[in-house]
Amino acid sequence: MNRQAATLLAQAQKTLLTPYGLDVADLTKVFGKIMVHQVDYADLYFQYTRSEAWSLEEGIVKAGSFSIDEGVGVRALSGEKTAFAYSDDISAQALGDAAGAVRAIAVAGQQRRVPALKKRSGHALYVPHDPLASLDAASKVSLLERLEAMARAEDSRVTQVMAHLAGEYEVVLIAGSDGRLAADIRPLVRVSLTVIVEEKGQREQGSAGGGGRTDYGYFTDAMLAGYARDAVHQAVTNLVARPAPAGTMTVVLGSGWPGILLHEAVGHGLEGDFNRKGSSTFAGRVGSRVAAPGVTVIDDGTIAERRGSLNIDDEGNPTQRTVLIEDGILQGYLQDGLNARLMGVAPTGNGRRESFAHLPLPRMTNTSMLNGDKSVEEIIKSVKKGIYAVNFGGGQVDITNGKFVFSMSEAYLIEDGKVGAPVKGATLIGSGPEAMTQVSMIGNDTRLDPGVGTCGKDGQSVPVGVGQPTLRIDGLTVGGTA
Please name every residue paired with 56 in a beta bridge, in sequence order, or none if there are none: 61, 163
Instruction: Average the pLDDT over 448-455 and give the result.
Output: 96
pLDDT tens digits, 273-296:
999 999 998 999 999 999 999 999
Residue 231 pLDDT: 98
pLDDT for the residue numbered 480: 84
Q: Determine which helix (DSSP H) or strand (DSSP E) holds 91, and give its type and residue range.
A: none
Measured distance CA(213)–CA(216) in Å, rounded: 10
pLDDT at 169 over 70: yes
Pair type for strands 366-369 and 361-362:
unpaired
**C-alpha to C-alpha distances, 214 to 128, 167, 352, nearest whole angstrom:** 8, 9, 20
CA distances from 429 to 128, 204, 351, 454, 479 (A): 42, 23, 31, 22, 7
Q: How far apart are CA 270 and CA 333, in angstroms?
A: 5
Residues 249 and 463: their CA atoms lie apart, in Å, by 33
Instruction: Tell me what pLDDT residue 111 has.
Output: 63
Average pLDDT of the chain is 95
pLDDT over 70 (residue 482): no
| Type and span of the H or E element at 153 | helix 137-154
Per DSSP (E only), the strands in 334-426 are 351-352, 361-362, 366-369, 385-398, 403-415, 418-424
Q: Answer whether residue 398 shows pLDDT above 90.
A: no
**Separation in Å, CA 263 to CA 250, 254, 448:** 21, 15, 12
Is pTM, for the whole model, over 0.85? yes
Distance CA 480, CA 476 (A): 13
Q: Taking Cα atoms as reference points, which of 306, 305, 307, 318 lies closest to residue 350?
A: 318
Residues 299-312 have a mean pLDDT of 98
d(CA 132, CA 48): 14
* 3-class SS of residue 304: coil
Neighbours of 127 (CB within 10 A): 13
Task: Give the strand pairing for 427-431 and 471-479.
Answer: antiparallel
Residue (of 400, 367, 365) closest to 269 by Cα position: 400
More confident residue, 397 or 111: 397
Structural domains in the chain, CATH included, are 3-240 (3.30.2290.10), 246-479 (no CATH)
Q: Is the pLDDT of residue 1 over 60?
A: no
Predicted pLDDT at 405: 92
d(CA 124, CA 35): 33
Q: How many angstroms separate the CA atoms of 32 and 44, rounded?
A: 13
Q: What is the pLDDT of residues 425-448, one digit of tens each?
A: 999 999 999 999 999 999 999 999
The DSSP 8-state label assigned to residue 266 in this structure reads I
Mean pLDDT throughout 405-421?
A: 96
> What pLDDT digit, counting tens, does each position of 100-127 carry?
999 988 777 666 677 888 888 899 999 9
% of the chain with per-residue pLDDT over 90: 89
Q: Look at residue 209 in the predicted model and tell me its pLDDT.
A: 98
- Mean pLDDT for 160-170 is 98
Per-residue model confidence (pLDDT) at position 288: 98
DSSP 254: P
88 has pLDDT over 80: yes
If pLDDT is split at 50, 70 and 90, which confidence band does 5 have?
A: confident
Q: pLDDT tens digit string along 220-271? A: 999 999 999 999 999 999 999 999 999 999 999 999 999 999 998 899 999 9
Say how far apart CA 190 and CA 209 lie, in whole Å.
7
| d(C-alpha 341, C-alpha 349), whole Å | 13
**CA 377/CA 168 separation, integer angstroms:** 40
Secondary element (H or E) of residue 360: none
* CA dihedral over 381, 382, 387, 392, signed as positive or negative: negative
Total residue length of the chain: 482
Largest CA distance in the chain: 79
End-to-end distance of the chain based on CA atoms, in angstroms?
A: 61
Contact 115, 178 (CB under 8 A): yes
* CB of 69 closer than 8 Å to CB of 16: no
